[in-house]
Amino acid sequence: MVRKCTRHKNLLMSDNSQTTRARASWFASPWLFFLLVFLLSIPFYLLGAAGGRLPIATFLPVSALAAFIPMIAALVIVYRQSGGDGAKEFLGRAFDFRRIKGVGWILVTLLLMPLVLILEYGVHSFSGAALPDAQLFSIAEGLAFFLMFFVGAIGEELGWQGYAFAGLRERWSALGAALILGAIWALWHVIPYAEMGRGGEWIIWQCLSTIALRVILVWLFVNAGQSVFIAVLFHTMINIAWGLFPNYGSSYDPFVMFVILALVAGATVAVWGAATLANFKHARRNP
């Protein structure tokens, strides 16, 4: 009887250790994930090249529907490694708002990008550039865009921040992982930017802005309890601010945006530290 109990206990311990290893292996394949993302995006790139536009946000090409590819690519890997339970747990990360440490991080997430876009508009006004008068969009229109961008952000951030970042973080500092992820994120957008009719200079500055945005996003993610929901919310606000203000991005300048975002990202790195991007006071108390 004792032998049976001991054997049963050992089997349980073995099963638990296997489950732990399976969960840990979720994040063991960031480069496989990146490869899958680009391969699965090819059909959407081809659709975008045909000139189609989204029916709601007509300034976006059809290739913008590839927003769900990062989630799908990560889900394929997680399901193969951890089965249905692992996939369900992974998808649940999109609404892990209970991880968030304090309402202050939610406010920063919601307000930072609108403030950046207002600052960019102010820079243009101060420089004397010809600008259209800012027009407010209706509440219904704003809610429709928020819902569309929020769903799209889930599709992206479950993959980028919920899967790939953890794997990169095992080998690089938080800043290093953010820069690598930001560069790949930017590269993934190059074809859709071209399909929007953007020139080479615009795309270069936009890609650099995208990398800076990922550093800021990682900073929010790390300090808000590693909440994917925070990443989704900030990604949503990026698109809301860019797509709607002012006059559907009519005065948007990626160069000015990059300068502003680079200053914000640089400040977060200087204050919170490149190694973890975590709260520096907390880091000092717990080396």
Q: Which two tokens stand for residue 262?
A: 């680079």
CB atoms closer than 10 angstroms to residue 8:
10
* Chunked mean pLDDT (size 10), the chain, 287 residues: 42 39 58 96 92 71 91 95 92 95 94 91 77 69 87 97 95 96 98 92 97 98 96 95 69 90 97 88 41
pLDDT of residue 85: 93
Per DSSP, the residues of the chain read: -HHHHHHHHHHHHHHHHHHHHHHHGGGS-HHHHHHHHHHHHHHHHHHHHTT-B-SSSTTSBGGGGGGGHHHHHHHHHHHHHHHHHHHHHHHHGGG-GGG---HHHHHHHHHHHHHHHHHHHHHHHHHT---PPP-PPPHHHHHHHHHHHHHHHHHHHHHIIIIIHHHHHTTS-HHHHHHHHHHHHHHHHHHHHHHTT--HHHHHHHHHHHHHHHHHHHHHHHHTTS-HHHHHHHHHHHHHHHHHTTTTTTT--HHHHHHHHHHHHHHHHHHH-TTT-S-HHHHHH--
Predicted confidence at residue 287, as pLDDT, reads 35
Q: How far apart are CA 51 and CA 143, in angstroms?
A: 27
Q: What is the reported pLDDT for 139? A: 78
User: What string of DSSP letters covers 86-131?
Assistant: HHHHHHHGGG-GGG---HHHHHHHHHHHHHHHHHHHHHHHHHT---
- The pLDDT score that the predictor gives to residue 274 is 94
